[in-house]
Structure 1
Amino acid sequence: MKKMMKTLMLGSLILSPILANADMGTKNMMVRMRAINVMPQEKGTPSVVGGEVKLNNESVPELDISYFFNENFALELILATATHEAMAYKTSLNNLDLGDVSILPPTLLAQYHHQFGKLKPYVGAGINYTIFYGEDSGVAKKVTYEDAFGYAFQVGADYEIQDNVFLNFDVKKLFLSTDVNVETYSNGSVSAKVDVDPYIVGLGVGLRF
């Protein structure tokens, strides 16, 4: 919870100077709510015991806030969190349940929007800082994931269904790695560097004001 509050505060600090200078008459703000599916494309091998680490897919809501400098250029801040089950397969100790971990990857993207009447496709690129929290260690004594910076790419489109109300389709690719450490009850430890690298596919609605 503390990490989530820190993230919300960070997002507020990033957006506050933009909001303070916003001319609301130009409708340069946009808020979207999406249903997203987070699909990790993880790669990682635990040291000592070998095998591979896998995280399950998860569907969750997502909130994003965008500021439009003009009709073509915008900044978007994305907030969402998902809980994933972690497993290590084909290790020398058979399959290992590594429990659950929640991931909070606030992402800031610079976007270019094109205008085709009511259809407004866009592309984006930016950075994220991924916070891992709420670890449930499964069969291990303790599992820890290291918070990390990463980067992101995005493609999507808004379709105006009525004045300033949009349907939105969005696909993001995040590139992020974390160091995972597993402590066993026999006082041993297993470490792994895991590339999570999720695709995030979302569908939702947006309001511009």
Structure 2
Amino acid sequence: MRTVVAIYTGQGLADPLKAVFQEVLPGVRLVNIIDDSLIGDINKAGHIPPGVARRLVQYYRHAEEIGADVILNTCSSVGEVADLARSLIGVPIVKIDDTMTAKAAASYDRIAVLATLPSTLEPTMRLVQKQAERAGREVKLVNGLAEGAFAALVSGKPEEHDRLLLETALRTAADADVLVLAQGSMARMEKKLAEATGKPVFSSPRLGVEHVKAVLDAL
């Protein structure tokens, strides 16, 4: 049986992602490593502190020791740490948002990136830009920061989170051809946002797991 170890910096995505794995990769052993202090430390610092990067690399090493065939990095805020860690870890590391951002960059000229945290928005926008450069394309990036939405969510106000995210989507949709959801936990809003804006909306969980499947199939 193949093993995938998923690394989380917060609690919200583990159960939804488990459901996607059961559908896309039902025969795979899924092991979760969750440390929600990581996103807290990133938000407090406004960037990725060295201690967070060190802990993440340790978790990648733990995943290797567990017997992972593939490591899934589930947090867009730390994707650049995953890029650097690939040279240190002997197991493929898949970033959950790689396929989503590549798909958007390859097909659309104006791309709105929606996020509830600057620490997630900025690296995701950089990733979209890199994907566009790899594809030899020029794209316009639209900032879709839903200010206050993350605070509402962690305060137990999911309806307020969803309202702020919807308002941000409607505001940015006029200047965009596609909306990209920077955080996997926002995937449950994908259909609602698409219906409200009339624009394509991409989220990362299913595309990320399909990427894992492709890597496993190639091993």
**Same fold judged by TM-score > 0.5?**
no
The TM-score, its normalising length taken from structure 1, stands at: 0.29
Structure having the higher strand fraction is 1
The normalised TM-score by structure 2 is 0.28
Larger Rg: 1
